[in-house]
A and B are shown apart, each in its own frame.
Chain A
Amino acid sequence: DQQVKQNSPSLSVQEGRISILNCDYTNSMFDYFLWYKKYPAEGPTFLISISSIKDKNEDGRFTVFLNKSAKHLSLHIVPSQPGDSAVYFCAASYNNAGNMLTFGGGTRLMVKP
């Protein structure tokens, strides 16, 4: 079951530059998308989300873009900082209370000083 896919298992970026993490989905019923960040030995931490009625949501250094026609979303981090180094998971759900999240496989971001 590959309803949510993150095709890049890892990404390395220089500090201060932009990090772009990508995510594709196949289920057109998904209408709410989230990005979580995960450090080793910790649980996923919510980062930012977007509803399908929007195509962009911004929070500080983090921006999520949604292209519904392409079933694609991306997370932009700018400027990238070494503390951003973690695994980033894309997740999708049907935007009703109590609905499960379907996760992508994650992308390991390494921000080099």
Chain B
Amino acid sequence: EPEVTQTPSHQVTQMGQEVILRCVPISNHLYFYWYRQILGQKVEFLVSFYNNEISEKSEIFDDQFSVERPDGSNFTLKIRSTKLEDSAMYFCASETGGRDTEAFFGQGTRLTVV
């Protein structure tokens, strides 16, 4: 069964450093997302991406964050200068689009900022 894959599974980084989280969405999917879950809190939407551009973003997704799909298969989330409060599980998701479709999630990347 096709699946969304994320790398790395765990990333530890020093505060102020840049990190790139990587995702390979399901191949025929057209819509891509990043969500995050801070420990003990809800899963929160960060950004959606379609047709090589951001279609929606939340208040969390500030200038420190960026996304791109550099090569038609990978979908990346970059955090330019990490803060302690960026520590969370980051989930990538993708979907085909259209009515009554569901997003498929990857297994997540645990980001720890120290």
Contact = CB atoms under 8 A, between A and B. Distances in A.
A88 B39 CA distance: 16
A97 B43 contact: no
A106 B39 CA distance: 13
B97 interface: yes
B18 to A, nearest CB: 24
Nearest to B9: A41
A42 B50 CA distance: 25
B31 interface: yes
A85 B108 CA distance: 20
Contacts, number: 66
Interface in A21-58: 32, 34, 36, 41-46, 49, 51
Interface residues of B, number: 31
A42 B100 contact: no
B50 to A, nearest CB: 5
Contact of A46 (B42, B44, B45, B104): B104
A46 B108 contact: no
Interface residues of A, number: 25
A43 B108 contact: yes
A11 interface: no
A12 to B, nearest CB: 20
Given A49-B100, A100-B48, A43 B55 contact: no
Nearest to A39: B107
Interface of A: 32, 34, 36, 41-46, 49, 51, 89, 91, 95-106
Interface of B: 4, 6, 30-31, 33, 35, 41-45, 48, 50, 55-56, 58, 91, 93, 95, 97-108
Nearest 7 pairs of A and B residues by beta carbon: A43-B105, A97-B97, A100-B45, A103-B43, A46-B102, A98-B31, A44-B105
